[in-house]
Amino acid sequence: MLAWLHETDANAMSASFVNIELPAFLTSSPETDAHQLARLMLAHQLNAALVVDERGQSAGIVTSTDYLKLYANASRHEGSV
Count of residues in the chain: 81
CATH homologous superfamily, domain 23-78: CBS-domain (3.10.580.10)
φ and ψ at residue 64, rounded to 5 degrees: -65, -30
- Do strands 58-63 and 26-28 pair parallel, antiparallel, or not at all (unpaired)? unpaired
What is the residue extent of each domain of the chain? 23-78
Reported confidence tier of residue 13, pLDDT bands at 50, 70, 90: low
pLDDT reported for residue 23: 67
Question: Can you tell me whether residue 55 is helix, strand or coil?
Answer: coil
Reported confidence tier of residue 76, pLDDT bands at 50, 70, 90: confident
Burial (0-12, 13-18, 19+ Cβ within 10 Å), 56? exposed
User: What tens digit of pLDDT does each residue of 22-68 get?
Assistant: 667 899 999 999 999 999 999 999 999 999 999 989 999 999 999 99
